[in-house]
């Protein structure tokens, strides 16, 4: 039996500002539904990802805006990801080189932290 993570909640203070930000960095706006005055659900997906994020109003989720700091996304090229973020006007930390990958971090407008990881080339290490 497969278990697939498909949706992660990201707490935000301003739904429209968050949606604009994520579209600006390349996410697809999959769904935006206002059920009533108290409930709005927005779902967005990073390019190439099987897992989406959700935010809105009236959703709960248990975290205050700015507290989500555990999302890590794998990218094929950390340098290209950093350039894409900076081209979109996002302040992002430069590439952090580690033995287990190359990392770029950035924050959304509410201060939620995202980590992008370029995986090491394990096939090259196995051939050594």
DSSP for residue 82 = H
The answer to whether 108 and 65 are in contact (CB under 8 A) is: no
Query: What's residue 60's pLDDT?
Result: 74
Conformation bin of residue 101: beta by default, left when phi > 0, alpha when psi is -120 to 50: left
Provide the whole-model pTM: 0.89
Non-local CB neighbours of 26 within 8 Å, separated by 6+ positions: 46, 47, 84, 88
Task: Look up residue 18 and give its two tokens.
Answer: 């968050």
Task: Report the pLDDT value the prediction gives residue 123, as an integer from 0 to 100.
Answer: 74
121 falls in which pLDDT band (50, 70, 90)?
confident
Closest CA to 42 of 22, 65, 66, 26: 22
Which domains are present in the chain? 1-60 (3.10.180.10), 68-128 (3.10.180.10)
Q: Which helix H or strand E contains 21, and what residues bound it?
A: helix 15-24
Average pLDDT, integer, range 4-9: 93
Count of beta carbons in the 10 Å neighbourhood of residue 68: 22
């Amino acid at each position: 039996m497969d278990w697939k993570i498909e949706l992660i909640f990201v707490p935000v203070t301003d739904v429209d500002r968050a949606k604009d930000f994520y579209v600006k960095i390349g996410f697809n706006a999959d769904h935006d539904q206002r059920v009533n005055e108290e409930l709005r659900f927005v779902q967005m997906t990073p390019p190439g990802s099987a897992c989406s994020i959700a935010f809105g109003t009236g959703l709960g989720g248990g975290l205050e805006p700015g507290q989500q700091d555990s999302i890590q996304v794998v990218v094929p090229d950390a340098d290209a990801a950093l350039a894409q973020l900076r081209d979109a006007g996002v302040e992002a930390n430069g590439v952090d080189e580690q033995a287990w990958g190359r990392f770029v971090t950035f924050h959304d407008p509410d201060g939620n932290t995202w980590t992008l990881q370029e995986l090491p080339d394990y096939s090259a290490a196995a051939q050594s």
